[in-house]
Structure 1
């Protein structure tokens, strides 16, 4: 049995039992080399029904740590954690170097179709980069996508002629172009 006084949690947290109706949710374990903010968001959304039970939030969070992250947790000073906010703070501070780089919508203007790249691959790469941007105005990715195409590309001409082009319409036109290219290639063979 673990000595309560050696726990990073205060005695009050250690002595708190989970509610009778509590069943352990399934968590993605944190292994030290991932974004700590993403792990905390997943944890908090999974524990949303219990977010007002600070002791439970602390104790269950400790079970989501694996490997070196679990080792780190046990290096915390005894009785140094008094709340889930404190635990979240020391956790994110410890693993801040693993945070994902937040991108702005201006990043999309740096995505340019390579001359050897197919439209399918360009769309896939563009969509992946756009997905990393939260709250992006739709006009920016539409313009950035067009700007990333070479002016001599047939799709560029089709896109530039459209005045009110939504991102969904842009992707649909790109898909039609991909299908047309693939049909043209299969006819050659």
Structure 2
């Protein structure tokens, strides 16, 4: 049964009977394995086969060549002779893998973007542009408005952009890039100052450690006014007896 299914074709006899021209050379496609956006793969395929879009049978056969792994297994589960056009093949293909479709963002998504407190202006610009690039047909006026709204009200760029609100998106980004350059210089200067302060801070810390050691040494020394203990020799007989015994000695 499995062998028969592998040998059978989902295409109708009319499609199967068509053979490609000897001059045809299949483009180099990115293969579809069943774990990515089907619409993206279809667009990729159509763009490379644009010169042959009128040759329906060729489109069907070449598209089948782009399937690998689980997607290839799915293709061979299609009923024999059930596909009579590339339109039908594209329909069942996108329906099968609809759960992998990328949710398209609309332009209003840009209004959700905000410059983060610790984010540099350049990083915000870069992140905003990347999000805009994922939105097909985004109106420049919406993008311009959303970009300004994402800035903190106290930011110098926010005030600058609101002084001349009729700027085009290109002008908004040009102004933003100028402010980003200033911001880059400010951050670089701050880092340079911090690096220059490091030796002074380390020297101060060493001085504090030495001062602490001196204090500890002074604490461990005997106090200057403390009574000094003196040691005396103790005798076993009274002193007058000792003198009596030695008074007649010649020395």
TM over 0.5: yes
Residue aligning to 1:10: 12
1:161 to 1:130, Cα distance in 2 relative to 1, 3 A = same
Q: Post-superposition shift, 1:22? A: 0.6
Residue aligning to 1:63: 65
Work out the CA distance in 2 between the residues paired with 1:107 and 1:63.
37
Q: TM-score scaled by structure 2?
A: 0.71
Say whether 1:100 aligns with 2:102.
yes
User: RMSD value over aligned CA atoms?
Assistant: 1.9
Work out the CA distance in 1 between the residues paired with 2:115 and 2:188.
23
Q: Please, which runs of 5 or more residues in structure 1 have no aligned partner?
A: none
- SS of the residue 1:60 aligns to: helix
Q: Post-superposition shift, 1:20? A: 2.4
Say whether 1:144 aligns with 2:175.
no
**Alignment counterpart, residue 40 of structure 1, candidates 38, 42, 50:** 42
Work out the CA distance in 1 between the residues paired with 2:187 and 2:105.
37
Q: Is the 8 A contact 2:6 2:76 kept in 1?
A: no
1:3 to 1:135, Cα distance in 2 relative to 1, 3 A = closer
**Which stretches of structure 1, 4 residues or longer, exceed 4 Å deviation after superposition?**
2-5
Residue aligning to 1:75: 77
Q: Post-superposition shift, 1:164? A: 2.1
Q: How many residues align?
A: 189
Q: Post-superposition shift, 1:14? A: 1.6
Higher relative contact order (CA 8 A, sep 6+): 1
CA deviation string 1:132-187 (max 9, x = no partner): 22222211110111001110112111111123211111112222222111212223
Structure whose CA Rg is larger: 2
Q: TM-score scaled by structure 1?
A: 0.92
Q: Is the 8 A contact 1:5 1:11 kept in 2?
A: no
Work out the CA distance in 2 between the residues paired with 1:114 and 1:104.
22
Say whether 1:169 aligns with 2:163.
no
**Alignment counterpart, residue 19 of structure 1, candidates 2, 18, 21:** 21
